[in-house]
Structure 1
C-alpha cells in the first residue's frame, strides 16, 4: 500500500496524481516507472527511470526541511 501524498510544495494543492508507466525496455531488467505530479500546477516530482510508485511517492513527499544538512 502506498503512503499518503503530501500537498504540492509549490502551489499547496491536494490534487496530486500518481501514474505508473510501462517499461521502456524488454527483458528481465524492464521495470515500470512511477511518477507523481500536481493536478493543479502540473509540477512533476523527482523521477528516475525504473523507480517504483512507492519510490516516486517517497521522493514527492521529501521536503528540504527533511534534509539532514
Structure 2
C-alpha cells in the first residue's frame, strides 16, 4: 500500500537510484521528532515484523535486470 508522506528521509535520496520504502509505526498522540515521542511496544513489534517479512519476501525476487 502506498502512503504519501511529507517526511524527508534517506528513502528520498535512495529512491533516485534504487527501489526504497519506509515503514511507519504510530506514535502516541501523533507526536514525532520530539523528546515526548512514544510508541507502544506492540506497534514496534508490528513494524519489526513488517520489516522481517518484507526482507524475507525480497530474497525470493530475481536480481534487478535479470528476466
TM-score in same-fold range (> 0.5): no
Smaller-chain TM-score bracket? under 0.3
TM-score, normalising length: structure 1:
0.27
Between the two structures, name the one with larger relative contact order (CA 8 Å, sep ≥ 6).
1
